[in-house]
Structure 1
Amino acid sequence: MSRGKASSALDLPRPDSLDAGKQQGAYEALRAAILNRQLPAGSRLPSTRSLAERWSVSRGTLEAAFDRLHSEGYVQRVAGSGTRVCAVIPEQFIAAPVATVTARRAVEPDRSSAGVQSHVPFVARRPDASLFDLKAWARCISRGLLAVGPGVLEANHPAGLPDLREQIADYLRSYRGMRCEADEVIITTGIRHALNLIAHTLINPGDTACVEDPGYAPARRLFNLAGAHIHAISVTAEGLDTAQLPTTARLAYVTPAHQAPLGMTLSVSRRLALLDWAARAEAWVVEDDYDSEYNYNTAPLAALKSLDNADRVIYCGSFNKNLFPGLRVGFMVVPKVLRRSLLRTLQLTGHSVGVTDQLGLVEFLRNGAFVRHLRASRQAYQARRDALLACLPGCPVSGEQGGLHFVLWLPAGTDETGFCERAAAVGLTLQALGKFCHGVALPPAVIIGYTALTLAQIRFHGRALFKMWEGACPRLQCVSQ
């Protein structure tokens, strides 16, 4: 036998499934051998010639089966090196976890904090933790701990470590156009923590809190739990409709950089109108800047807070949205008049961030690792977005210019709930746009998260999503008939 043409040491028996259908049977037999590790990761498959002789099928049948395994990410075919099993078993890396229908239906943004999950198509509206440099993070934590004495570990820092607050203020001045100082920054565990502090500090029972409609459901619920009357404001192509803001409201919550969930950017004229309303009504504006770092077409607008001459905006940011979800470190930039009362609420709850993560972030920001990570992850997410859009030719989408998700609009008359249930049957977990609406009625659509998915997942499940959308389109159905 010639060098380089040796077949696999595994003697794969002829499968019974070949009798039912040779090409499908060969595919299923090889796929099963990979999944049960009879063909382990990195192992070489027999050549199609030798396997054709062993299984008594044509070589063309096996070539078709090998091509299908390659297209679905099970194997790699390299000229001169043969066909080898990929390092990661696709079902663990591509397919959504096998779960009951009840478990899939539980993935809803307004029912559970676990609604958004990594690696689950297409609710993966999270940063991809695999892009995060753990070794660099470990070095930052180590350097941070070694650089401080026991006094830092023993001291109480209710607003957060002074060095971290200074690094955050410097980043916001450089990259978000804000004029802020370290004493305006308060460290939190994330945006929900910030919203909870704001709700329990500023809202009295019966106060009016304005929210976007559709919008971020946890914000609405947190304000409601604090006793607020929720006033939903509809969203147009320019963002929040500021003409609907009542002068009696206590605060307004907005996501101006990439509206959650529709994805548009709040226009400059609307931003100025919102700030003018806040000054006239002596109300507060809560700016949730959850994914502004990810803009793929143009540079993002500066933060709303950068225009805040009257000091009426409470800015909320989070490292959980751009580093990794388990970090649990966020921050607020607060008006000076509110700092003492917000800190009092923070100390009362005792819900503060551990000093170790804060020290690590100080080093991560100081040495430029944070900006480098943003640059690399932005490129990766843009490639994933582009790959997914390529799987959806002709499908109407919006909000795709930035952020961690976009909206896929369904054919007119499509039942959102039924579409999501059919998607669950083929391994796709979708969130209906209607779940984000409070009172407004919008055309049918679903939210598509893609950042915590691999390119293999996106291509595999993107094709399935397109087939579903195509099947729901009456015009295309008539053409096919």
Structure 2
Amino acid sequence: MPAQLSDLGSTVAKQEVAYATLRDAILGGVLGVGLTMPSTRALALRWRLSRGTMETVYDRLCSEGYLCRRRGAGTFVSATIPDSYLMARPMEPQREATVEDARSERTQSNSYKQAERDVRVGTPFVARLPDPDLFPLKDWSRHVAKTIAANSAQIRGKADPAGLPSLRMQIADYLRKFRNIDCGPDDVFMTSGIRHAIDLICRAFVTKGDKVCVEDPCYPFAYEIFALSGAAVAHVPVHLAVHLDGIQTSILRRHGDAKLVYVTPAHQSPLGMTMAVSHRLELLEWAESNDAIIIEDDYDSEFSYSGAPLPALMSVDRSGRTIYCGSFNKTLSLDMRVGFVVAKGDVRRTLSDIWRLVGRSTGLAEQIALESYLRTGAFARHLRVARHAYVQRRDCLLRILESRARGLYLVSGHEAGLHFLLWLRNGQSEAEFCARAASEGIALQPLSAFCCQTVFPPTVVVGYAALAMHQIEEAGAKLAAILAENSQCAALPRDGGRRCDV
């Protein structure tokens, strides 16, 4: 590490330089796991910074999992690239899939799709829905009219198959600032959303019979797209803990022959936890060792309520094996069918060949309007308004449940996103609870609808973002009453199928 901050250059803010220096030293192994860090006072003196600046840097590194603080003991490095994972691991025999397995998975997937078909904005407590009333339609209409008029010649011209260059530049700038991804407009490809992105990635990298790993539980449509591509899908369970966690890399290492893995590290879909830094590094090491591709679905990263989200997985990938996917249908409107993919190096070149053939699917007029929306700061303002509204709705619902059904449930995954998980402690099954809720006009999705092989204790997914406050108050009281109907509180099981600790 440098002796003085002046050694690092003067073009970047001092706080950012100090943060990047320590983070890179940890990732590079210069600061090894368990190492005791200098005090903020000592390091501030050494680098000629204020102690407050170093406290902010340490707090950020702690929140991202690179450092940990122990009262009375000091600050320690808590994440490193594990060299032991480079060693070959014996493959465990995998049970052959049966007809019953396929039938079970198809039933679960159909359950999820039926729930999505039944989605109605304003129905409590349907998950994965933003509030359409928060989308400033008049403001958006002005952007559409103004920008299309100013770019009429461009609309009539030949479109770039990768997408509008100026929009890709705005997205790259946004990702650099808010997701720490070092990318340029040539690394960005426009899509109509996450499903479109996964489909095109499959066309580029997956051939029939290739193994693809997915989280379990997972976004069911991702699994179905991989299956349609002819891939052999392997389900890798997800750690479930109170603290940051994610895909079980110890099990993933059994799949050294996998071509690709799909993950949601920012806000696991649907469990809601954030993938720990140590697991991110293990995942990247696995991909590099096995010549595999990582699809990073940055699900719900814009809606973090307990502080800034961890930087994207792609931001710490030095091998260029991560493909980053994002969309605007949760941040702006469900009908805003605009998404994007970010890829680098050889991966980008392979995707580019596919995009030239089949990648064009997003209207140029929408792209032009969205470019203006990003460039003028309107998108950032909308996100601030939406985050404030959603956290108020979440807190209102949690207060109602706490006051009327305390001790009859557990909550997790509520620190971010548009939903949380409600773990039942009243002895009811998911099916019984969902049926009882439906009789009161409440739509709940069972967690089992997202699972393929992993079995969890009875749990339901509770969405709150698309509801007005009076709807939350009325439906929240009904939900609490249903929880309280069977007050014989059963102990929450800790095992079922694969072990899942709450």
TM-score strictly above 0.5? yes
Deviations 1:36-82 (A, max 9, x none): xxxxxxxxxxxxxxxxxxxxxxxxxxxxxxxxxxxxxxxxxxxxxxx
Deviations 1:182-231 (A, max 9, x none): 00000000111101111222111111111111111111110011011111
Residue 273 (structure 1) aligns with: 282
- Give the secondary-structure state (helix, strand or coil) at the position aligned to 1:391: helix
Q: Does the 8 Å CA contact 1:118/1:125 hold for their aligned counterparts?
A: no
Residue 383 (structure 1) aligns with: 392
What percentage of residue pairs aligned between the two structures are identical?
Answer: 47
Residue 415 (structure 1) aligns with: 429
Shift of 1:150: 1.4
The CA distance in 2 between the partners of 1:130 and 1:440, in whole Å, is: 37
- Give the secondary-structure state (helix, strand or coil) at the position aligned to 1:403: coil
Q: Does the 8 Å CA contact 1:185/1:333 hold for their aligned counterparts?
A: yes
Find 1:128's aligned residue among 124, 128, 131: 131
- Give the secondary-structure state (helix, strand or coil) at the position aligned to 1:253: strand
The CA distance in 1 between the partners of 2:292 and 2:119, in whole Å, is: 32
Q: Does the 8 Å CA contact 1:400/1:407 hold for their aligned counterparts?
A: yes
The CA distance in 1 between the partners of 2:110 and 2:288, in whole Å, is: 39
Shift of 1:466: 0.8
In the alignment of these two chains, the number of paired residues is 372
Residue 157 (structure 2) aligns with: 154
Residue 240 (structure 1) aligns with: 247
Q: Does the 8 Å CA contact 1:259/1:266 hold for their aligned counterparts?
A: yes
Q: Which moved more, 1:164-173 or 1:292-301?
A: 292-301
Return closer, same or farther for 1:110/1:345 CA change in 2, 3 Å cut-off. Answer: farther
Residue 319 (structure 2) aligns with: 310
The CA distance in 2 between the partners of 1:417 and 1:308, in whole Å, is: 42
The CA distance in 1 between the partners of 2:200 and 2:158, in whole Å, is: 22
Find 1:406's aligned residue among 413, 420, 433: 420
Residue 355 (structure 1) aligns with: 364
Residue 12 (structure 1) aligns with: none
User: Which one-letter code corresponds to 1:220 in the other structure?
Assistant: Y
User: Which one-letter code corresponds to 1:429 in the other structure?
Assistant: A
Residue 175 (structure 2) aligns with: 172
Q: Does the 8 Å CA contact 2:162/2:356 hold for their aligned counterparts?
A: no
Find 1:460's aligned residue among 438, 457, 474: 474
Shift of 1:143: 2.2
Return closer, same or farther for 1:115/1:270 CA change in 2, 3 Å cut-off. Answer: farther
The CA distance in 1 between the partners of 2:367 and 2:351, in whole Å, is: 20
Deviations 1:280-324 (A, max 9, x none): 011011011121010111111011110111001000001011001
Deviations 1:124-154 (A, max 9, x none): 4211111111121112112211222413432
Q: Does 1:250 align with 2:253?
A: no
Return closer, same or farther for 1:108/1:384 CA change in 2, 3 Å cut-off. Answer: farther
Return closer, same or farther for 1:115/1:180 CA change in 2, 3 Å cut-off. Answer: farther
- Give the secondary-structure state (helix, strand or coil) at the position aligned to 1:475: coil
Larger radius of gyration between Structure 1 and Structure 2 = 1
Q: Does the 8 Å CA contact 1:234/1:440 hold for their aligned counterparts?
A: yes
- Give the secondary-structure state (helix, strand or coil) at the position aligned to 1:325: coil
Shift of 1:157: 1.7
The CA distance in 1 between the partners of 2:197 and 2:418, in whole Å, is: 21
Q: Does the 8 Å CA contact 2:211/2:231 hold for their aligned counterparts?
A: yes
Q: Does the 8 Å CA contact 2:203/2:354 hold for their aligned counterparts?
A: yes
Q: Does the 8 Å CA contact 2:172/2:188 hold for their aligned counterparts?
A: yes
Return closer, same or farther for 1:107/1:126 CA change in 2, 3 Å cut-off. Answer: farther
Moved over 3 A (4+): 105-108, 110-117, 343-351
- List aligned pairs for 1:273-312, cutoff 5 A: 273-312=282-321
Q: Does the 8 Å CA contact 2:296/2:323 hold for their aligned counterparts?
A: yes
Q: Does the 8 Å CA contact 2:427/2:489 hold for their aligned counterparts?
A: no
- Give the secondary-structure state (helix, strand or coil) at the position aligned to 1:160: coil
- Give the secondary-structure state (helix, strand or coil) at the position aligned to 1:360: helix
User: Which one-letter code corresponds to 2:200 in the other structure?
Assistant: L
Q: Which moved more, 1:336-345 or 1:429-438?
A: 336-345
Residue 97 (structure 1) aligns with: none
- Give the secondary-structure state (helix, strand or coil) at the position aligned to 2:133: helix
User: Which one-letter code corresponds to 2:169 in the other structure?
Assistant: E
Shift of 1:155: 1.2
Ranges in structure 2 where 5+ consecutive residues have no aligned partner:
1-107, 491-502
The CA distance in 1 between the partners of 2:285 and 2:122, in whole Å, is: 42
Q: Does 1:109 align with 2:123?
A: no
Q: Does the 8 Å CA contact 2:426/2:486 hold for their aligned counterparts?
A: no
Deviations 1:308-366 (A, max 9, x none): 11001000001011001001000000133233433443444465100111011010000
User: Which one-letter code corresponds to 1:217 in the other structure?
Assistant: P
User: Which one-letter code corresponds to 2:324 in the other structure?
Assistant: Y
Q: Does the 8 Å CA contact 1:256/1:289 hold for their aligned counterparts?
A: yes
**What TM-score, normalized to structure 2?**
0.71
Q: Alignment RMSD, CA only? A: 1.8
Q: Does the 8 Å CA contact 2:268/2:299 hold for their aligned counterparts?
A: no
Shift of 1:439: 0.3
